[in-house]
Amino acid sequence: MSNTDKRVLFIYTRENCCLCHDMLKGLEVWQRRLNFKVELIDIDQDKVLTDRFAARIPLLMAGDTEICEYHLDEGALLNFFKEKS
């Protein structure tokens, strides 16, 4: 996979969420190793997202695939990339 073909993972988040910041920080080393980028989705900007995800943030997803919630699960992240390779 080239740099232009990086996989995009999404973190459903909200402002001032300590767990969200921790997950994002934990992903930094894995981004370099596994060649992906992270986009943040602020659930408070959309009532539907707030209703759906408020009790589950941070939630790490790749498209419709849930990878982990609350804390970075490195095993789940590695399994996701292993299954997709």
- Which of 5, 2, 9, 24 is closest to 62 using CA atoms? 9
pLDDT tens sequence for the chain (85 residues): 444 467 999 999 999 999 999 999 999 999 999 999 999 999 999 999 999 999 999 999 999 999 999 999 999 999 999 987 7
Q: In one letter, which amino acid is 1?
A: M
Q: How many domains does the chain have?
A: 1
- Which of 57, 64, 46, 69 is closest to 12 using CA atoms? 57
> How many CA atoms within 13 Å lie on the side-chain side of 13?
19
Distance CA 49, CA 7 (A): 22
CATH number at residue 21: 3.40.30.10
Q: Is 12 within 8 Å of 43 (Cβ atoms)? A: yes
Range of the domain at 15: 3-84
